[in-house]
Structure formats: structure tokens, C-alpha cells
Amino acid sequence: MKTVVPPAASQEEALEAFRQLATGGVTDVRGEQVEVDFGDYAHVIHQEDRLRQIPWIAPTLQSPDQIIRLPLDMRGGRPKQVEDYVKRIYESNDDEDGTLFLVGVERTLWGLRLRTWFTPRRQEEYVEELGGDVIWTPEKPS
């Protein structure tokens, strides 16, 4: 099924979409709450493409095409478990190809936390080269 989500048209619209995520929270496809804080917004405030993609975060977490658990990251003194939610987003009904979009969350002792979101430059090749294990698809719910 085609998921049509227009990008944010302005910085104000992006901020409002992010405010809704941070204050209302978002529950992922598996029923887990994903923590979102304004530090994540401040990190991308000067990255127009990523601001435009903020409205794509919730639909990706709520209805991904797949979730990939990346290998455990041991850098930085503590292990980090990252899961990437992958979804093809269409900006309009006329958009025939869509854009592959990833939302990275970190699994902590206290739950899930938004870590990043982006569109990879090399689309399908990026996902194929990610490594990790596919832990969720619509056909194989966890």
C-alpha cells in the first residue's frame, strides 16, 4: 500500500510536526513508545532536507516496510542497540517512485529513543549493505 505524506512546507510546519512527536509521543508498529526530545530537532535545524522529512517519522515508525536490528555498537563506552525502521514514502499521489526513508531508534534499558532519520543517497543499495537482521516485516511480525 502506497503511503503518501507530503513533506513539511516550511520550518514552522516542521517544528510543529516535531513538537507533536515530542509532546504526544509516537507508538511504533510493535506497540512500543518511542521517546522523542527537542535535542533531536536542534541537531538538524540547519538541514532543510531533514526538516522537510519530519512528517515522515511517525508513519515510518507506525507502519514500516521492515525493521532491521543493526549489529551491537560497542563504541563510546557502552553498547548501543540500534534498530532502523525502513519505509518507502510518496510525497504525493503523482509520485511514482517514492523515497526510501529510514528512522533509527536506539533500544535502551528504558525503551526506544529516536536517534536519527534520513533518506540514503543510494536507496536500495544502502539497505542491502546495512548488515544486521530483519526483525520485523508485515509478513513476519515480531
pLDDT tens for each residue of 64-102: 999 999 988 888 777 889 999 999 999 999 999 999 999
Q: What gap in Å lies between CA 112 and CA 80, rounded to an integer?
A: 11
Contacts of 56 by beta carbon, 8 Å cutoff, 6+ apart: 5, 7, 87, 89, 101, 117
With cut-offs at 50, 70 and 90, classify the pLDDT of residue 127: confident
Cell numbers at 104, concatenated: 533509527
Residue 12 lies in a domain: yes
Q: State which residues form the domain around 91.
A: 3-136
Number of domains in the chain: 1
Residue 20 lies in a domain: yes
Contacts of 48 by beta carbon, 8 Å cutoff, 6+ apart: none
Residue 115 lies in a domain: yes
Residue 96 lies in a domain: yes
Residue 142 lies in a domain: no
Closest C-alpha among 19, 17, 12, 96 to residue 59: 17
Residue 141 lies in a domain: no
